[in-house]
Amino acid sequence: MIEAPASQPELPIGLYALDFSQTGPQLADGFPGNHWRGALGVTLRDLACVTGANSCEGCRQKHACAYAYLYETPPPADAQKMRRYDRAPHPFTLRETAGPAGVRLILSLFGRGNAYLPLMVLALRRAALSKRGIGGRRLTLAQVCQAQPAEAPAWTRIDREAGTLRPLAVQTAGRPPPCPLDTVEMHLQSPLRVKRDGRLVEAKDFQFADFFGNLLRRLSMLTYFHTGTPLETDFKGLMERAHATSCDARLQWIEQSRHSSRQKQEMSFGGLTGTIKVAGADIAPLWAFLWLGQYTHAGAGATMGLGHYSLASLSQPAPAEPQA
């Protein structure tokens, strides 16, 4: 079993806030991430697709297309991982919260995904102003800000006249603070969906390794497909430690639904919320991964804001949400 802290993923993270003012009705349901992701896909295709094809399947431009990379994310033909899958993890997450103008959309971009910030901002701005808006809401972009993960919690405005963006340099996520020695609390801020043996894990069956195993795979895939430095670490030793870690999980299942445009039906998309408590001494070798996961999310639906969590303890509080 691994005893020393493992190497940290080298994952550049761009953390952006798009502040919108709102006109018209309120959101029709309580799952804004689904509306944002769906509207983004439609607008991205309109902006970036050069063939006008109805599908990316069989398109010769697929591996050179901004829409395909961001929204379909096909593994490269020479990929050594996920060769049996038609999609890799997307290089972004979307998460809505309250903001100074009314609605704030937190956009995280990973690795090479940061090169597409102007396109993403343009697509989100147009989607929010479209006839359908975001869940029936018409939103007007007021400003775009950026913060550095794990640093001083402050946003810096990066948009200028005529919509020009001047983003800050995107850095590899810095070293986390030392792992606390006391109890660490994981607060699930949005529903977490993880599987064991192909089945969604429910509150009564939850084990710490269910969560950590999913997060470790996600970080490995993000670094492999979206950076030039794939994660090299002792995966077996990390998982042995995760399986040996006991936790006090005070969780409940929150049910929600989303409309799938692809499958043309309503789909259940619930997950676990609540608090997970673990001993800091037990998770010390896992700490760097757990800290980074606060920005990448974990579990299914991470792109649309699910699996967002924060870490806190008596000695080391969770990173504060950056302030305007």
Q: What is the pLDDT of residues 177-213, one digit of tens each?
A: 888 889 999 999 999 999 999 899 999 999 999 999 9
SS3 76: coil
pLDDT for residue 58 is more than 80 = no
- Lowest mean pLDDT segment, chosen from 1-5, 64-68, 175-179, 267-271: 1-5
Residue 196 confidence (pLDDT): 92
| Greatest alpha-carbon span in the chain | 56
SS3 240: helix
Question: How many C-beta atoms surround the C-beta of residue 268 within 10 A?
Answer: 9
Note the pLDDT tens digit of each residue in 5-36.
556 778 999 999 999 998 766 776 667 888 99
Rounded Cα gap, residues 74 and 56, in angstroms? 10
Residue 1 confidence (pLDDT): 47
Rounded Cα gap, residues 191 and 187, in angstroms? 11
How many helices (DSSP H) and strands (DSSP E) are in the chain? Answer: 7, 13
Rounded Cα gap, residues 240 and 180, in angstroms? 21
Rounded Cα gap, residues 8 and 289, in angstroms? 7
